Amino acid sequence: MPAENRHYRTAVEALANREYERAGDCYTRSGWATLADPREGVDPFRLDEKGWIGRGLQALTAAVVAYRVADRPERATHRANEGVAVASDLRTTADRPVQAACLREFVADFRLTGGLDGSSAAYREAQSAYEAAADTIDEPQSWATTPLFEAAAGTLTQVARGTANGEIAVRWEDLHGADPSRAGAFLAHRAQFKRQRFASLLEQTRSEGYLAAPRGTTEYGNEQYQCPACQADDVNWTGDSVLCLRCSTPMRRE
């Protein structure tokens, strides 16, 4: 089992047990492991076409949020500064302008989740970068489904589902523009949406002291399982855990 997967799975377990500082530590280890070795044959210091390195950045953003929920703001700030540095460094090696724009989006995410100054300006810079890259983007929908872009949406969607009874609260059409023929605007909408919504979702998550586990494979009304906390029978299989879809508590098998 790759190290980053092992650490990711222990992070999910920590979330289920409401051990948010431990979850932050495990997400950090997952991020570092992925940044060091993103995928067999992939250079960790340059972006490949799929952008596998983005999964390491996603793990670090999840760590930042977990530390915020654990009321460890200083650790969140340190991790966010690390993320800004890594994403900014990778951007200097990005040969594809659309990926460089996505890395600017990551920088904005780290600034916002870590409580650093300049997140709004960073999101606007990402929007402008997507617009400027428009002529180099043939299929924006294809780029939006690569590991880099999915990773840049992952922590936002995880935070949002915790505010929506475990459901998918941020959908594809929320993040992206309505017209893929306008490639720049289609992708720039990601940064605009985050600038407008991410802060309030994060504040609700922090104030409630609850970060949902990421959504994996789900099933509604599975009579073999019941949540001991809320009695739901809707299941979320994620990492190595079988969790309540509603409140991320480990499910009890009936």
Q: pLDDT of 177-221, one tens digit each?
A: 999 999 999 999 999 999 999 999 999 999 999 999 999 999 999
What is the rounded average pLDDT of the residues 145-165?
Answer: 98
Q: Are residues 200 and 82 in the same domain?
A: yes
What is the rounded average pLDDT of the residues 51-80?
Answer: 98
Residue 118: predicted pLDDT: 98
CA quadruple 212, 213, 216, 219: dihedral positive or negative? negative
Contacts of 162 (CB under 8 A, 6+ apart): 205, 208, 210, 211, 212, 248
Q: Are residues 209 and 220 in the same domain?
A: no
241 forms beta bridges with 238
Q: Are residues 197 and 220 in the same domain?
A: no
What is the rounded average pLDDT of the residues 62-70?
Answer: 98
Q: Is residue 1 over pLDDT 90? A: no
Q: Are residues 35 and 110 in the same domain?
A: yes
Q: Are residues 170 and 223 in the same domain?
A: no
What is the rounded average pLDDT of the residues 66-92?
Answer: 98
pLDDT band at residue 5 using 50, 70 and 90 as cut-offs: confident
Q: Are residues 245 and 209 in the same domain?
A: no
Query: Distance between CA 148 and CA 190 in Å, rounded?
Result: 13
Q: How far is CA 135 from the centre of its chain?
A: 27
Q: Are residues 94 and 180 in the same domain?
A: yes
Q: Are residues 87 and 182 in the same domain?
A: yes
pLDDT band at residue 3 using 50, 70 and 90 as cut-offs: low
Tell me what the pLDDT averaged over the chain comes to. Answer: 96
Per the structure, the complete domain to which residue 23 belongs is given by 3-213
Q: Are residues 174 and 239 in the same domain?
A: no
Q: Are residues 100 and 86 in the same domain?
A: yes
Strand order in the sheet with 241-244: 217-219, 235-238, 241-244
Closest CA to 207 of 244, 248, 167, 163: 163
Q: Are residues 32 and 142 in the same domain?
A: yes
Domain count across the chain: 2
Query: Distance between CA 110 and CA 82 in Å, rounded?
Result: 9
20 near 67, Cβ under 8 Å? yes
Q: Which long-range contacts (CB under 8 A, 24 or more apart) does 5-13 make?
A: 5/30, 7/33, 7/59, 8/59, 8/239, 9/239, 9/240, 9/241, 11/59, 11/62, 11/66, 11/239, 12/213, 12/214, 12/238, 12/239, 12/240, 12/241, 12/243, 13/239, 13/240, 13/241
Q: Are residues 8 and 129 in the same domain?
A: yes
